[in-house]
Amino acid sequence: MTVATRRALVRQLIAQGPTLSTRNIAAQVGVSKDTVRGDLAAIRQEDAQASPEPAASAPEPSPDTDHLTLVLDEPLRQALAVLRATRGPEDTTKQNEAAARAAIRATADPVRDAQQRHQGQPSP
């Protein structure tokens, strides 16, 4: 199988199942997961060169709210798809925000709690 054929197959598998792991793709294609990672990087680079995305304009933040604007590249899009699968099949901005908030809290809350325990403060 040529590199171009393999990458086309990897691209097709991602389109069919955006939540597939590199290990799962590697098993289906018959190559190592490192090869799949290289193919994914090459595919992202090809896509970026073929159709550069216009710069996203950040929304105007309200005076009392912090905002985070994130450009969704393919690995992040796939990660969000995995997180959204726990909340339903919709692919909306609201679902993406909910999944991102849940992931940030799930990561940050235990760290904050450990810091507070270390400092002798009760957790909220």
Which of 33-42, 49-58, 73-82 reaches the highest mean pLDDT?
Answer: 33-42
Q: What is the pTM of this model?
A: 0.42
Task: Decide yes or no: CATH 3.40.50 for domain 1-52.
Answer: no
> What's residue 1's pLDDT?
82
Asked whether 79 and 104 are in contact (CB, 8 A), the reply is no
Q: Where in the chain is the domain with CATH 1.10.10?
A: 1-52
> What's residue 35's pLDDT?
92
> What's residue 76's pLDDT?
76
Identify the helix (H) or strand (E) that includes residue 76: helix 74-84
Q: Alpha helices of the chain — where are they, by DSSP H?
A: 3-16, 22-29, 33-50, 74-84, 93-119
Helices 22-29, 33-50: crossing angle, 10 deg rounding: 100
